[in-house]
Amino acid sequence: MLDIELSNVTLNYGFKNILDGVSIQINSLEKVAIVGNNGTGKTSIFRLLTGLEKPSSGSVSKRKDATIGYLSQIAPEIESDMSVRDFLRNAYEDLAKLQSKLHELENKMGNPDISQNELTRVMDSYGKLQDQFITRGGYEVESNIEKMAANLKITEFLDQPYKSLSGGQKTIVCLAQMLLKQPDILLLDEPTNHLDIPTLSWLESFIKGYNGSVVLVSHDRYFLDKTVNKIFAIADGNVKTYFGNYTEYVEQLQLEREAQEQAYVTQQKKIADMEDTIRKNRAWGAQSSEKAYKVAKKLERRIEEMDKIEKPKTQKDIALNFNQETRSGNDVLKLEDVTFAYDDADIILCGADLEVQYKDKVCLIGKNGCGKSTVLKLILGSLQSQDGTISLGSNVKVAYLPQQVSFEDENKTILEEFQKHFNGTLTHTYSTLASFHFYGNDVQKRISALSGGEKVRLKFAELVQNDVNFLILDEPTNHLDVRNREILEEALSDFGGTVLFVSHDRYFINKVASRVVELSDGRFKNYIGNYDDYLEKTTSIPLEGPTQMGPQKVLKRNSR
């Protein structure tokens, strides 16, 4: 059954066509992803599907009575002191109205002056409404809210004012509300933002079993692999449909490009041969051979009428190639019996041990709030442990990418900031910045005006100028589109040094990691291999943060 359709839709802003004659179909129960580079129109398609935007031409139609739910990347702001619990209750507005009518009828039935006939009529109405209320789950609303809050790890926020939450927390609350609504057509724009790995796993299962159609925009390729069975790929204003998950789409796309490249080369060779024949026949024609001249004209018309195959477009990638001139020793990092706590109720490490060897590619995983970023800061020396030792090996040269990229003076321009790390000529500086997609006058932009993705690219441009052999990266794929994530994967795989990184991007972990280290209960657990290997070796997802054994050990140590 067809749920929603775009038919020959064009959408333009001024002189620019965002979509150019796009036609797509979404059928009941399908799980679909829209993929494409940033700015290609993915969110515009969502706005068309919801009716928030009208097409410049073409039509948008949906199944009669089908409900649509849309989760935007940006959570709405509200001025009232509404609690998170009440915000989630808004997912059940229809049930709330039914419940209000039931209360009205209850009050009427309790009126001592009501006549017998009126009482009979009211009781009959009450019975019918109560049946509706029960059938639609009216008495399960509160338990549904509690379960959803537990699944998305927002139970502790339920009685807080919604407006007091951070942007990321609000986004998760909005996701919870949308999932509680259970519309027929669920549109989710980057739903995996701000979720830890266990919560992502739960959301994957929810979407796979969802009794409706789901359309996703996400940079999380592992998530798409686990959830979707259809891909809409958008580029240059056009959309092409592929069947399968994300990895299958990539494989199909690669085969298409190879076939197009081969067809292009074959056709160009044919055209070159025909043009060579034309030149020869024109030369013969010039020597009074009318027949040769006619052959040349005929071949020219054939070339003109030929359906030309376009040369496959190749995107110019950023030049991410980490510079490693100095080799470190075999022992790169060692944590021995390390204990760290912000206070007795917030234990991060409790007698923890960890070793990282030369050429290791180690991913540190664990639930949100368990202390992964804190561990990196302890290693870098910006925090000091209460007990134990942290040491770097000989000749170790560290480069660090923080989760939130910032610069010392964000009033500086890109050019001014980069020149602090680059000693080449101005021409060479411009050329190097261009290789990270900062072209021409872009280098005069102030850092404060850059997007998150641009800041990450600038930081990488600086890091690759240095002689480093130990990369410490905190959520390095944040703000990167899919292609730049792929480039980073390739660069880290080729890097001859050692890498320690924190990431929720399981596809990225699979491509880069040679070892997964899970932080749980204040200690590290080691698993050789990538994320899929880790899943095979453990029956549990990463545990909650430190248990009560942590504070006892910290108190004992501090009493020395």
The per-residue pLDDT for 556 is 37
- Same domain? For 364 and 472 the reply is yes
- Same domain? For 341 and 392 the reply is yes
Within a domain: residue 369? yes
- Same domain? For 471 and 532 the reply is yes
CA pair distance 258, 381, nearest whole angstrom: 49
- Same domain? For 490 and 388 the reply is yes
The per-residue pLDDT for 558 is 42
Which tens digits make up the pLDDT trace of 297-356? 899 999 998 888 888 777 678 888 888 888 999 999 999 999 999 876 678 999 999 999
Within a domain: residue 87? no
CA pair distance 55, 19, nearest whole angstrom: 9
Q: Are 321 and 487 in contact (CB under 8 A)?
A: no
- Same domain? For 261 and 359 the reply is no
Reduce the DSSP state of residue 455 to 3 states and report it. Answer: helix
The per-residue pLDDT for 122 is 87
Q: Tell me the one-letter amino acid at 178.
A: M
Count Cβ atoms within 10 A of the Cβ of residue 201 and give its class: 0-12 exposed, 13-18 middle, 19 or more buried: middle
The per-residue pLDDT for 344 is 63
Number of domain units in the chain: 2
CA pair distance 39, 18, nearest whole angstrom: 9
- Check which CATH number belongs to the domain holding 490 and give it: 3.40.50.300
Q: Are 217 and 36 in contact (CB under 8 A)?
A: no
Reduce the DSSP state of residue 110 to 3 states and report it. Answer: coil
- Which residue is it, tokens 């899943």? 535
The per-residue pLDDT for 334 is 97
Within a domain: residue 164? no
Give me the domain span that covers residue 297: 249-305
Which tens digits make up the pLDDT trace of 54-85? 999 999 999 998 999 999 888 888 889 999 99
Q: Are 8 and 21 in contact (CB under 8 A)?
A: yes
Domain boundary, last residue among 290, 305, 320: 305
From 447, 468, 467, select the one nearest 457 (Cα to Cα): 447
Within a domain: residue 240? no
The per-residue pLDDT for 539 is 58
Which tens digits make up the pLDDT trace of 85-113? 999 999 998 888 888 899 889 888 888 88
Within a domain: residue 233? no
Within a domain: residue 546? yes
- Same domain? For 300 and 339 the reply is no
- Same domain? For 300 and 337 the reply is no
Our measurement of the distance from residue 352's CA atom to the centroid of its chain's CA atoms, rounded to an integer in Å, reads 32
Which tens digits make up the pLDDT trace of 243-258? 999 999 999 999 998 9
- Same domain? For 257 and 390 the reply is no
The per-residue pLDDT for 541 is 47
Cα 3 to Cα 28, 212, 331, 423: the distances in Å are 5, 9, 58, 59
Count Cβ atoms within 10 A of the Cβ of residue 359 and give its class: 0-12 exposed, 13-18 middle, 19 or more buried: middle
- Same domain? For 486 and 547 the reply is yes
Q: Per-block average pLDDT, block size 10, for the chain (560 residues)?
A: 92 82 94 87 90 92 92 87 94 88 89 88 89 86 94 93 89 94 94 88 94 93 95 92 95 92 93 91 76 86 89 79 89 95 82 95 90 94 93 95 89 92 89 90 89 88 91 90 89 94 94 95 94 83 39 38
Within a domain: residue 461? no
Positions of E strands within 111-200: 185-189
Q: Are 437 and 453 in contact (CB under 8 A)?
A: no
The per-residue pLDDT for 345 is 64
Within a domain: residue 25? no
pTM over 0.85: no
From 16, 19, 15, select the one nearest 60 (Cα to Cα): 19
The per-residue pLDDT for 553 is 39
Counting every residue written for the chain, the total comes to: 560
The per-residue pLDDT for 551 is 37
- Same domain? For 546 and 492 the reply is yes
CA pair distance 267, 309, nearest whole angstrom: 7
- Same domain? For 300 and 376 the reply is no
- Same domain? For 301 and 339 the reply is no
